Amino acid sequence: MEQRAVIKFNAKLGKSASETFRSMQQVYGSQCLGRTAVFEWHKRFLEGRETLEDDKKSGRPILVRTPEMIEKVRDFVAYYLEVLKRLMGRIHRIRPKYRDPEDWSLLHDNAPSHTSLIVRQCLTRNRVSVLNHPPYSLDLAPCDFSLFPKLKLKLKGRFFDDIPTIQSASTQALEAIPQTELEHAFESLLNRCNKPVY
């Protein structure tokens, strides 16, 4: 920021970009901005730019590793751990035949919260087997390869006036899918897991 302020100051004084760059090299030495950067910023200030800050960039934000961000991630992992514990408790209550963790498997994608050490330790401690999930493989999510296409088929070509109508139509379409279809989706999931990924 300091060097940008110097460039702005020199541009306002009417000095050329070359003069500005030479004087900055004398002052900052090896820490001086590159020639291209000095010339670009000089041009921006001549064209009326006032701010020294970078322009906001579109796209994915840069990963920030600040103490606050690290704490947020830790909080989320702790929250997710509680979700897993509630899930296992609910499975034991609702599906007693799956009381033994070796009778069922959990499909996790590769999200950081799912692969964190504390989550893996919890799953290991509770003897929950986890199916390996290739990165970004939507064909292994039962909703993506089985449920959503059926839902889209039922809703295709229909128009809705508001969100509650969409929700109602979606709920009816989902409830119309037979239980056997869902069971078939999970059986085909196991087949997909055994196929090689190219």
Per-residue pLDDT of the chain (198 residues; tens, 9 = 90+): 888 899 898 888 889 999 999 988 988 888 888 888 899 989 988 888 888 887 777 666 666 678 888 888 888 888 888 888 888 888 778 877 777 766 666 666 656 666 677 777 877 777 777 766 665 555 556 566 677 788 888 888 888 889 999 999 999 988 888 878 777 776 776 666 666 554
- DSSP lists the bridge partners of residue 129 as 105
- DSSP lists the bridge partners of residue 130 as 106
CA distances from 53 to 27, 41, 64, 125 (A): 22, 11, 18, 50
- DSSP lists the bridge partners of residue 131 as 107
Helical axes 67-94 vs 117-125, angle rounded to 10°: 20
CATH 1.10.10 fits 1-47, yes or no: yes
Say which residues have a Cβ less than 8 Å from residue 68's Cβ, sequence separation at least 6: none
CATH 1.10.10 domain range(s) in the chain: 1-47
How far is C-alpha 88 from the geometric centre of its chain's CA atoms?
25
* pTM, entire model: 0.36
Say which residues have a Cβ less than 8 Å from residue 125's Cβ, sequence separation at least 6: none
